């Protein structure tokens, strides 16, 4: 789940405590407007990807710093399914 890396919120702590893997993304992501196809400005926070692996225990998690320019969401999703 791609979310803002906002550690001041309660949901961030809940996600952190319950997930199996965390990808902290360095740099700011640019999002694309779905109808215009143009970049949307205004992303003023970093991003994080939380990964849950079904019934896998969340007591041990991998935490990886991922550079935004080398981010491959397809690869992250495939790895999360491999368990």
**Mean pLDDT taken over the chain:** 83
Query: Using H for helix, E for strand and C for coil, what is the string for 5-68?
Result: CCCCCHHHHHHHHHCCEEEEEECCCCEECCCCCCEECCCCCCEEEEECCCCCCCCCCEEEEEEH
Q: Is the pLDDT of residue 56 over 60?
A: yes
pLDDT cut 90: percent of the chain above it: 27
Q: Tens digit of pLDDT for each residue in 24-45?
A: 998 888 788 889 988 887 777 8
Q: Tens digit of pLDDT for each residue in 10-20?
A: 999 999 999 99
């Amino acid at each position: 789940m791609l979310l803002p890396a906002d550690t001041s919120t309660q949901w961030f702590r809940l996600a952190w405590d319950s997930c199996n893997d965390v990808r902290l993304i360095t740099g700011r992501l640019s999002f694309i407007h779905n109808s215009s196809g143009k970049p949307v400005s205004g992303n003023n926070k970093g991003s994080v990807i939380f990964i849950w692996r079904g019934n896998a225990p969340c007591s041990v998690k991998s935490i990886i710093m991922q550079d935004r320019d080398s981010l491959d969401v397809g690869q992250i999703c495939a790895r999360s399914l491999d368990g």
